[in-house]
Amino acid sequence: MIFEDYFLILNTVLLIIDVFNQFYYAQSMMLCMDLHDFGPCLITGGAGFIGSHLAEKLNSLNVHVKILDNFSSGNTSNLESLSSKKNIEIINDDLNNLDNIPDLLKNIKTVFHFAAYPEVRTGFEKPEIAYEENIKNTFHLLELIRKSEVKHIVFSSSSVVYGEADLIPTPETYGPLLPISPYGGSKLACEGLISSYCNNFNIHGVMLRLANVIGSRSRHGVIWDFLNKLQINSNKLEILGNGKQTKSYIHVSDCIDGFLFSLINSKNKVDVYNIGNSDKIDVFEIGKIVCDTMNLTQTELKTKGGTIDGRGWIGDVTLMLLDISKLKNLGWKPHFTSHESVIKSSKELFSELNNL
């Protein structure tokens, strides 16, 4: 055979692999769309960053959605696109006041539990918030769920439950789980509570340990922080810690697909899945990407503050990369890498900042 023939055969094989991959991916995503058995749904914290994206996705799939939010960090503008839609109910109340809303779970089959105080970094100064806003809320919700007809609960846990894992990438089976922030401790406590209620009261539970979720409407985290700092002073960007904190990021669109895919594919009473990316990126690199997004070429990136050992704050995990093979083996995969997600989110958030 001459060289051209080998080349042709190789190209054909690559094409077949590509078509197969696309078909497999499309199949798994189609499965993800088959949500009829899971609605109507309640999203606690549905006016927040991740919750509002999930509400939009479920609405586009004709699933009836109820949102419960106290609008502490959530925003009505996050729900703007849903205001004229059918199949959406919005309740402005607090998970700690469930006596006010005894009918909250009427006809609900699936609860996506997102309401929480989502800041990791304030935990050192105010550890009680993690208890009040995360653990107590979750307990109140579970008490209501056990007296209802709810079949499934999906919980947005976090990579921080792993603490400073010495196995990287970190699989779901890693242990012992020793979180290093009050926020991480509260997420682990919630996982424990949910698991126990699922086993005692015949509920199906899905625990999702999320990497850093980024994208439009996010109002906390490193990208939003950098954009705001640079808007005030574009000459200098102050980076908390030594800038080498390295983590994996996921775009919110991939995260939402991961939620629905996990729910549909989870077959045990309680399943735990990591949702993240296979690559990671450090804070310095994120700083450079945000400067590029804003067309800033002369900005000085300067480390400042943080802890003696280079963390951004007490309780900051310096290296986080989740092993996502459990969910990937079932057929899910993110569209965007960490690097691509940071570029995309940076652009999305910069445009939002300009339109505020």
Where on the chain is the footprint of ligand NAD (CB under 6 A)? 44-45, 47-51, 68-74, 94-96, 114-116, 118, 133, 137, 156, 158, 210, 212-213
Whole-number Å distance between alpha carbons of 223 and 285: 11
- Token pair belonging to 328: 């990937």
Specify whether 25 is catalytic.
no
Token match 């919980």: residue?
155
> CB-wise, 47 or 153, nearer to ligand NAD?
47
Give the residue with the Cβ less far from ligand NAD, 116 or 343.
Answer: 116
**Can you say whether residue 276 is alpha, beta or left, with left for phi > 0 and alpha for psi between -120 and 50 degrees?**
beta
In this structure, which long-range contacts are made by residues 191-195, counting pairs with CB atoms below 8 Å and at least 24 apart in sequence? 191/155, 191/157, 191/161, 191/272, 193/135, 193/138, 193/139, 193/142, 194/113, 194/138, 194/142, 194/153, 194/155, 194/270, 195/270
> Which lies closer to ligand NAD via its Cβ, residue 51 or residue 315?
51
Under 8 Å between Cβ of 59 and 82: yes
What does DSSP assign to residue 136?
Answer: I
Give the nearer residue to ligand NAD in terms of CB position, either 156 or 266: 156
Q: How many Cα atoms sit within 13 Å of 250 on the Cβ side?
A: 28
Paired residues of 152 in beta bridges: 110, 204
Min dist. Cβ of residue 190 to ligand NAD (A): 9
From the candidates 117, 183, 197, 249, give the one annotated as an active-site residue: 183
Q: What whole-number distance in Å separates Cα of residue 318 and Cα of residue 314?
A: 11
**Shortest Å, Cβ 231 to ligand NAD:** 20
Query: Quick one: 113 or 311, whose CB is closer to ligand NAD?
Result: 113
Which is nearer to ligand NAD, 198 or 208 (by Cβ)? Answer: 208
In sequence order, which residues have a C-beta less than 8 Å from that of residue 59 and are 6 or more positions away? 65, 82, 85, 87, 88
- Catalytic residue numbers, as ranges: 183
